Structure 1
Amino acid sequence: MNIKSLLIGSAAALAAVSGAKAADAIVAAEPEPLEYVRVCDAFGAGFFYIPGSETCLKFDGFVRFQVNFNRGTTANGRTSDWDAITRAQFNIDTRSDTELGVLRGYIGLQGNTDNAGTTVATDAVFVEQAFIELGGLKVGKFYNWWDNGLSGETDNLASNTLFNSIRYTYDAGSFYAGLSVDELEGVTYAVTGDQPNNVGVSGNLGGKFGGAAIDLIGGYDVDRSNGAARIIATADVGPGTLGLAGVWASGANAYYAVSEWAVAAQYAYKATDKLTITPGVQYYSGFGLVSQDTFSNNDGWKGGLTVDYKITDGLSTKLAVNYQDIDNTPKDWSGFVRLQRSF
């Protein structure tokens, strides 16, 4: 082999090696696989998995425009027969399966605008509800069972319904029972004065039997040493649902203190798939407190009509008109017209 052949062979070998390294250097890395949002159907419609986790997330809420009207009374310093209010609600719901049951976290944000500008408290966005739930245990700020009244807008079967609470509920489907310890801070009555840092105990017992349901709740206000009890029963009758309710209070308490006792009835007539018409009536005995343990001798009644109409998917309207006649109190017409976009 002469020197010329040796040089040519060495150059060729070097070029081959260099070429291989250069080719290796410009090979692009494979892109990371994209993780698309997955639907989570374990907890109902609207949930999806948070990417990179097994936690399911749901957003929902509504925008509501409502005009309230009231004739016949000037209570609470009212200076006008009507008032328009706009409300925005946005909810965040997270759930995941654990070895201890379903773990849930919920935040409900609400804003109400009633006056022009943004200088009044009613224009602020606030936390309506926020709670943690694991299995049957629930802690945080949320609506009490007293909030679950009849479906119409005529009955008045609760005084306060939203508390910071610790609750446990046993739910077997057709039967349920629960117990709640509630902070009653900020609940005041003219006849008792302010009692902050108060505590209450409420309980719930109910069942569902085909097209019928019954719900019994009670609440005891510890500082005021008074309580209230309520029963609601509903049943499918003909083209609608019949609802009956009764409530009683021993005196001033956070759960119900409108009257000593009251009974209510309604019939939610399902006229079409989009239209529901609900007439209702309520009778009061001992309307209004005169001392912590004594109701007045005033009796009275309230009657009204609620009309719900679904305009299209996500858009509905509601009309409510009520007349109230209580002894020694001005007769009163009230109601509202509402347009709501839900999502």
Structure 2
Amino acid sequence: MNIRSLLLGSVGAMIAVSDARADAIVVAEPEVAEYIKICDVYGSGYFYIPGTETCLRTGGYVRYDIGLGDVGSYDHARTSAVGAGEDQGTWQNNTRFTFQTWTGQETELGTLKTYTETRMNFGNHNPSGPDNPHDHAFNGGITLTYAWIQLGGLRVGKDWSAFDMFIGCAGDVFDQMLVPYGAFDTNVVQYYFDAGNGFSAVISLEEGSGAVGTIDGYVPHVVGGVKNTQHWGAITGVVAYDSNYDSVASKVRVDVNVTHELSLFGMFGYGSNGKLNDDSTNASDAHGRGFYKHWGGNWAFWAGAKYKYNETTSFNVQLSGDQLKNYGFATNVAYTVVPGFTITAEVDFDHYGDFPLAMVDPSNVNWTNADKKNSVGGILRFERSF
């Protein structure tokens, strides 16, 4: 009986202690979940950053390119055979991941926006030169393509030059630079004006980039442009002043919407040499033409067309040329397999009128590393955008 009483007493004590501990535990009230709110003010894909009035959108793409062809065309990958050590061509391969962000917020001074784009590459699409005679596959590092802030019409930060962004690129082909048409990477201080009736304008102060393009004093490069957009298309003009060389370049572009399926464009460029020729023997000048007038001679042209065969298939073509008899032709067909995934095949042809200059006198560095006067290349691109 004593043992039984002892056991019962122990069990009772344990239950009493457990009840006391249970009474002491305080369970916190669950916090109210803060769900993401959709923001449709700036288009699809935006949502409010929790706790703020800022709308955010993220996106990007994953791309794989495979190309082949002559040096000077879209493909210019070279390698040395491991066995014989002979120089030979190889596939040009490149994989890219791009991450993009957009933000928007309404303020008393206008819409506050930002845009960023960061690119990462792996492949053998790398420039050849005396220190890198062949292209090897490796991680290309991280490239900051865009990173700007805009309040109302004022934009500051990293962008592509208004000389190209405002007037538009030379068509929807991959190799738009068979005949170069302008400059790209630069820090900017810009102001955009939109009248609301189709008329818009821009003034841009730019730093430039590269060994020759970056400003070498306190005077910036200056770009100005005007545009009139209507239901039939648009007409645009831009003028750029290169402060390093006291040279001026300009472009005029006309876009025409012929039908719902067919659209055309034509662009003409003209530039003065200014003091560009003063440094023509500088091998660090990849073009010998300053930051804006990259084409050969005073004038150049670019023309093209886009035809939408149906909702999934489109055709693009571009023809270009300049005063020094450099000519390019590019055409592609793009097929959307499923929404967000597109496969595009392109063929390029280029003819270099001033080609012998780079071969006879290496100090006259040309804007192409072509090893013959005419070259043909092709590329197959797989791209998943999101």
Q: Normalising TM by the smaller chain, what interval?
A: 0.7 to 0.9
- In 2, distance between residues paired with 1:135 and 1:83? 43
SS of residue matched to 1:123: strand
Structure 2: 5+ residue stretches without partners: 1-22, 80-88, 126-135, 274-288, 356-372
Which residue, out of 149, 161, 178, partners 2:169? 149
1:247-326 equivalence runs, <5 A: 247-251=269-273, 252-259=289-296, 260-286=298-324, 299-326=325-352
Cross-structure match for 2:9: none
SS of residue matched to 1:188: helix
In the TM superposition, residue 261 of structure 1 has moved relative to its aligned partner by 1.0
Cross-structure match for 1:179: 203
Going from structure 1 to structure 2, the CA distance change for 1:36 and 1:124 (only over 3 Å counts) comes to same
In the TM superposition, residue 126 of structure 1 has moved relative to its aligned partner by 3.1
Indicate if the aligned counterparts of 2:171 and 2:318 stay in contact, CA closer than 8 A.
Answer: no
Going from structure 1 to structure 2, the CA distance change for 1:210 and 1:98 (only over 3 Å counts) comes to same
In the TM superposition, residue 272 of structure 1 has moved relative to its aligned partner by 1.1
One-letter amino acid matched to 1:158: Y
Higher-strand-fraction structure: 1
- In 2, distance between residues paired with 1:73 and 1:304? 13
In the TM superposition, residue 333 of structure 1 has moved relative to its aligned partner by 1.1
One-letter amino acid matched to 1:275: T
Going from structure 1 to structure 2, the CA distance change for 1:328 and 1:222 (only over 3 Å counts) comes to closer
In the TM superposition, residue 122 of structure 1 has moved relative to its aligned partner by 4.8
Structure 1: 5+ residue stretches without partners: 1-23, 287-298
In the TM superposition, residue 334 of structure 1 has moved relative to its aligned partner by 2.6
Cross-structure match for 1:167: 190
In the TM superposition, residue 262 of structure 1 has moved relative to its aligned partner by 1.2
For residues 246-266 of structure 1, what are the alpha-carbon distances to aligned partners after superposition, in whole Å with 9 as ceiling and x for unaligned?
A: 111212331222222112221
In the TM superposition, residue 31 of structure 1 has moved relative to its aligned partner by 3.8
One-letter amino acid matched to 2:205: V
SS of residue matched to 1:62: strand
SS of residue matched to 1:124: strand
- In 2, distance between residues paired with 1:187 and 1:230? 24
1:8-19 equivalence runs, <5 A: none
SS of residue matched to 1:42: coil
Query: TM-score scaled by structure 2?
Result: 0.71
Indicate if the aligned counterparts of 2:252 and 2:267 stay in contact, CA closer than 8 A.
Answer: yes
- In 2, distance between residues paired with 1:200 and 1:301? 28
Correspondence 1:125 to 2:142: yes
SS of residue matched to 2:293: coil
- In 2, distance between residues paired with 1:328 and 1:32? 72
- In 2, distance between residues paired with 1:200 and 1:328? 28
Indicate if the aligned counterparts of 2:171 and 2:305 stay in contact, CA closer than 8 A.
Answer: no
Cross-structure match for 1:341: 384
Cross-structure match for 1:14: none
Which residue, out of 100, 105, 109, partners 1:91? 100
For residues 223-252 of structure 1, what are the alpha-carbon distances to aligned partners after superposition, in whole Å with 9 as ceiling and x for unaligned?
A: 111121011111111330011111112123
In the TM superposition, residue 172 of structure 1 has moved relative to its aligned partner by 2.5
Correspondence 1:227 to 2:265: no
Percent identical pairs in the alignment equals 28
Q: Which has the larger radius of gyration?
A: 1
Instruction: Say which is worse superposed, 48-57 or 141-150, in terms of deviation.
Output: 141-150
In the TM superposition, residue 310 of structure 1 has moved relative to its aligned partner by 1.3
- In 2, distance between residues paired with 1:72 and 1:112? 21
- In 2, distance between residues paired with 1:161 and 1:73? 20
Going from structure 1 to structure 2, the CA distance change for 1:121 and 1:177 (only over 3 Å counts) comes to farther
In the TM superposition, residue 166 of structure 1 has moved relative to its aligned partner by 0.4
Structure with higher RCO (Cα < 8 A, 6+ apart): 2
- In 1, distance between residues paired with 2:330 and 2:72? 17
Cross-structure match for 2:264: 242
| Two-structure CA RMSD over aligned residues (Å) | 2.8
One-letter amino acid matched to 1:188: V
- In 2, distance between residues paired with 1:110 and 1:300? 31
